[in-house]
Amino acid sequence: MAFEHKTKEEILSHMLMKASEEQDIDTSQGSIVYDLLSPAALELAEAYVAMDRVLKLGFADSTYGSFLDKRCNEMGVYRKQAQKASGEVTFTGKVKDTKILQGTKVGTKEDIYFVVTEDGKLEDEIMIDNIKHYQTTLSVQADEEGTSGNIQAGQITEINDVNGITVSNSKDFYGGLEEEKDESLLQRYLEVVRRPAATGNKYDYIKWAKEVSGVKDAKVLPITPDPGKVKVVLLGEGNKKPDALTIQKANQMIQAERPVGAYVEVVGVEEKEIKIEVEIERTLQANTAIDEDALKEKLVSVISEYLSTLAFSSSVIRYAHIAKFILDMEEVKDYRNLKINDDMINIQIADTEVATLKTNNITITFVEGS
């Protein structure tokens, strides 16, 4: 803080001193001069607090929200907006040519709703239990922005205001994104400032890629042995491979901005699944307090956080680090026979890969102490 010393007491003391210097008057507490200057000192102290706040808002690393937007916009960096998930649903009924109107709502049992974005009618004939039915498949979009609309196949079962019709989705939905957080926006701003892009260098490609919603990071690799040809590898939110639509948008952005004559291949990162096998001796307290599934969930959380720090920054998963994470868990007294991808060595990650860990890829065997 630049004005932390400008308290009411300090300001009032200085004002009273100045007043007594001008002429011999009473400035003691309770005097007329004291009582008149005290409220003014309080107001000035509050003004200095506001000035401190304004000073912080003027610097990128200490500002936030709309003030950060204004700072970033000066450098052509804009916050990625939230987006709605989308996909296709199939409507099924017994009456041919039943209309499904644009705006019809469908949803999941968890009250996640989607809106039909086009008109249609049941006209494709199928047989269900030897009874003739009719179907149509239409595009839908999530009612709200965000990742909640990224649902799995088979989750949509509810439909409003259309009798005798069933609804389902045969494929996963994707494309739903939350608004970019301040931390991510600030990081992109700092990259532009500290690593200025120019005439198609690698920072240009990274900047263009990361301007696309759904792209967390990007890596630029030369395509040997051809000079002038590069591959841009995209890392999605959650340190996963971006969905097809995000990759397509990033490709369109980069191809539109790249220098004339440059050849660019844009791909999503490949997810390298990590398998962990370990024998664990539980602490006395954990023997009855935690089961295999609960311990797996904790391991996934701890180790996935470690793997996320390696994405596009390190090519090695260190065996010793995984072992330490396991041993540091309060439920674990000791471990033995730890294997990562069937071996007891460091795991190498290729330039085009990102390591991921899923619960079903962890095998835990509980053992008694020796």
276-282 and 362-366: which strand pairing?
parallel
Q: Answer yes or no: is pLDDT of 286 > 70.
A: no
Q: Which of the two residues, 26 and 193, has the higher pLDDT score? A: 193
Q: At 251, is the pLDDT very low, low, confident or very high (cuts 50, 70, 90)? A: very high
pLDDT at 181: 94
Rg (CA), the chain: 30
pLDDT at 288: 57
Could you give the CA distance from residue 263 to residue 231 in angstroms, rounded to a whole number? 9
Q: Answer yes or no: is pLDDT of 284 > 80.
A: no
pLDDT at 370: 63
Q: At 202, is the pLDDT very low, low, confident or very high (cuts 50, 70, 90)? A: confident
CB neighbours of 294 closer than 8 A, spacing ≥ 6? none
**Cα distances (angstroms) measured from residue 244 to each of 24, 208, 211, 334, 337:** 81, 17, 16, 43, 39
**Cα distances (angstroms) measured from residue 212 to each of 36, 252, 275:** 58, 10, 32
Q: Answer yes or no: is pLDDT of 317 > 60.
A: yes
Q: Answer yes or no: is pLDDT of 118 > 90.
A: yes
Q: Which of the two residues, 224 and 128, has the higher pLDDT score? A: 128
Average pLDDT over residues 292-303: 88
Average pLDDT over residues 202-226: 89
Alpha-carbon torsion 333, 339, 344, 348, what sign?
Answer: negative
pLDDT in tens, 225-239: 777 789 999 999 888
pLDDT at 12: 84
Q: At 142, is the pLDDT very low, low, confident or very high (cuts 50, 70, 90)? A: very high
**Nearest of 289, 312, 301 to residue 357 by alpha carbon:** 301
Could you give the CA distance from residue 110 to residue 151 in angstroms, rounded to a whole number? 11
Could you give the CA distance from residue 284 to residue 286 in angstroms, rounded to a whole number? 6
**Helices and strands: H and E segment counts in the chain:** 9, 19
**Cα distances (angstroms) measured from residue 173 to each of 85, 153, 216:** 6, 7, 20
Average pLDDT over residues 312-333: 92
Q: Answer yes or no: is pLDDT of 83 > 80.
A: yes
- For 46-70, give one letter per residue: b (16+ CB within 10 A) or e: eebeeeeeeeebeebeebeeebbee
A 10 A CB-CB count for 258 gives 17
pLDDT at 1: 56
Could you give the CA distance from residue 130 to residue 119 in angstroms, rounded to a whole number? 28
Q: Which of the two residues, 179 and 261, has the higher pLDDT score? A: 179
Q: Answer yes or no: is pLDDT of 261 > 90.
A: no
Q: What share of the chain has pLDDT > 70, as a percent?
A: 96
- Answer whether 0.85 is exceeded by the pTM: no
Could you give the CA distance from residue 356 to residue 307 in angstroms, rounded to a whole number? 7
Could you give the CA distance from residue 243 to residue 176 in angstroms, rounded to a whole number? 10
Mean of all residue pLDDT scores within the chain: 89
Decide: helix, strand or coil at residue 178.
coil
